[in-house]
Amino acid sequence: MKPLDPRLLRYARAARAYLAGTVALSLATTVLVLAQAVLLARILADAFTGSGADARDFAFLAVVIALRGLVTYGGEATALRAAAKVKSQLRRALVEHALRLGPGRLRAPGEVATLAVRGLDALDAYFARYLPQLVLACVVPVAVLAVIFGADPLSAGVIAFTLPLIPVFMILVGLHTRARTERQWHLLERLGGHFLDVVEGLPTLKVFGRAKAQAAVIREVTDTHRRATMRTLRIAFLSALVLELLATLAVALVAVEVGLRLLHGGLPYETALIVLLLAPEAYQPLRNVGAQFHASMEGVTAAERVFEILETEAPDAASGDPGAEARLTLDGVTVRYPGRDVPALSDVTLEVEPGRRLVVIGPSGSGKSTLLGLFLRFVEPTEGRTGFGHVPAAEWRTGLSWVPQDPYLFAGSVADNIRLAAPDAGDDAVREAARLAGADFIDALPQGLRTPLGERGARLSSGQRQRIALARAFLRDAPVLLLDEPTAHLDAATAAGIRNTVERLMTGRTVVLVTHDHSWTATADRVAVIENGRLHVHDTLAAAS
């Protein structure tokens, strides 16, 4: 595994400054560690020989101690703040990019949300614990070894021999745990998705008396996760065991070796004390790196999943001459979805002239939604060309209004949800749009337009949700109107009322309406029938006769 993923520095700029600061603090720590050992040894040696305590040594020691406190505070504060900043930068990049990818390429929202909110938290361990220790592990052992070598080459030899074994073991064990940690992360992510799926489906499960049985499934999934994790940990902690053994045994060996050389008078007491005090310090950072290893791996894996999404390419930007006139046309357009044999649309040629109404009739799954997706620029043609592909997608959409089959309602008030279509609209405009859409039910809500809506509009019926979508379209007031089954969710009485309103909404606009409801053909200038991805355009009058 890479100790430091360069992509982390590329995507999270906060990580760069932090890394520099950590190096500086590590150098300061090294100097203080050495100074403390030397001063402690000198005071103890003076007491041993009975030469009396030196007040200056005690004063220096006090200064060193105070500085260590400061450096510790600084290091910890920088690390935790950097972690928060890096998480924020990665999270925002992730969500932004996911949105740029659009509905066509967006992964399961629950899993990405878990990654953005909970998954990235694992980076705390990486930044606040692992990375500083990694830098310390590069600086402290070298400095300590140099000092010990000057004092007692033999002890330096013991340490120099055992010290490199620690990273070697770390790498060996790390290679083994990496794949397992990744699998464990997948499991955790799936667990999040599974949990949400089951909780959302609770009403359905209860109707069929299956809700209680799912508790066993959740336990099984969780226990599988536990067993898999424990298997990983049994190996991962072996690294801790080996590292601990190497470090403590080496210190024990040094202590015994130094003791025996003292016994034979080959070493001054003060030097022996310096060696004994510094020997554990040589291993401490490496041991800490080992201890933080598996916790940090989770963070690295989470970051890698973020990079994976960030490196998925967003759909191509507009191509061609941006100055050319945009036309609502399709020319021999075929759309193929990855992994599907049958194209969703094949060789569709179509023109909707400004101010005209096209009604597209077709059964479920015939390609109606893909057709609208082309106009909305959610879907790009696999073959053929469109008359608007040269306009940047965002600019093209400013002239569109869309009434989806299943509108999404956001956490926020009713007014906020309508205002989605025109962020700067005033309250009166929103109220008027709601009135035009026949959304009278809003008046009956406890706080009217200000009533908060639960996620995905849990408090509204399908009909009421559809009316919010219609209100958005009224507020949007765009020249091109795309409608997907505008009355499918409404009962006959309301549908009849809404139909007049939709008629009014369509007046003076270019309209593409897809539906399975043939009655809409009465309002069309032209009718197209879509079946198995193939489109046949008819003139209504001719068709009717």
> Under rule CB under 8 A, which residues in 7-46 are in contact with another protein?
36, 40, 43-44, 46
Binding mask 422-461 for another protein (x = CB under 8 A): -x-----------------x--x-x-------xxx-xx-x
Amino acid at 38: V
Q: How many CB atoms lie within 10 A of CB 304?
A: 15
State which of positions 311-330 bind another protein (CB under 8 A).
Answer: none
| 544 contributes a contact to another protein by CB under 8 A | yes
State which of positions 166-185 bind another protein (CB under 8 A).
Answer: none
Cα 392 to Cα 401: distance, rounded to the nearest angstrom = 17
Closest CA to 349 of 369, 371, 377: 371
| 157 contributes a contact to another protein by CB under 8 A | no
Cα 15 to Cα 18: distance, rounded to the nearest angstrom = 5
Stretch that binds another protein, among 157-165, 179-187, 319-327, 495-503 (CB under 8 A): 495-503
Q: Which is nearer to another protein, 331 or 395 (CB)?
A: 395
How many residues touch another protein under the rule CB under 8 A: the total is: 171
SS (H, E, C) 403-463: ECCCCCCCCEEHHHHHHCCCCCCCHHHHHHHHHHCCCCHHHHCCCHHHCEECHHHCCCCHH
- Residue 54 CB, shortest distance to another protein, in Å, is 10
Residue of 163, 489, 510, 511 that binds another protein (CB under 8 A): 489
- Residue 480 CB, shortest distance to another protein, in Å, is 11
Tokens encoding 517: 């409801």
Residue of 10, 172, 248, 427 that binds another protein (CB under 8 A): 248
135 contact partners, CB below 8 Å, separation of at least 6: 19, 22, 23, 26
- Residue 361 CB, shortest distance to another protein, in Å, is 7
Cα 34 to Cα 498: distance, rounded to the nearest angstrom = 82
| 495 contributes a contact to another protein by CB under 8 A | yes
Residue of 378, 436, 477, 525 that binds another protein (CB under 8 A): 378
Measured in whole angstroms, how far is the alpha carbon of residue 350 from the centre of its chain? 40
DSSP 125: I
- Residue 427 CB, shortest distance to another protein, in Å, is 17
| 519 contributes a contact to another protein by CB under 8 A | yes
Tokens encoding 296: 């940090």
Residue of 26, 162, 346, 464 that binds another protein (CB under 8 A): 464
Tokens 């402290």 found at:
140
Cα 303 to Cα 297: distance, rounded to the nearest angstrom = 10
Using an 8 Å Cβ cutoff, are 335 and 343 in contact?
A: yes
| 200 contributes a contact to another protein by CB under 8 A | yes
Tokens 């008078």 found at:
265
Cα 486 to Cα 242: distance, rounded to the nearest angstrom = 67
Residue of 3, 21, 74, 448 that binds another protein (CB under 8 A): 74
Stretch that binds another protein, among 101-109, 165-173, 175-183, 302-310 (CB under 8 A): 101-109
Partner residues linked to 512 by β-bridges: 358, 482
State which of positions 281-310 bind another protein (CB under 8 A).
Answer: none
| 47 contributes a contact to another protein by CB under 8 A | yes
Tokens encoding 8: 């982390």
User: What kind and span of H or E run contains 302?
Assistant: helix 269-310
Residue of 142, 171, 179, 206 that binds another protein (CB under 8 A): 206
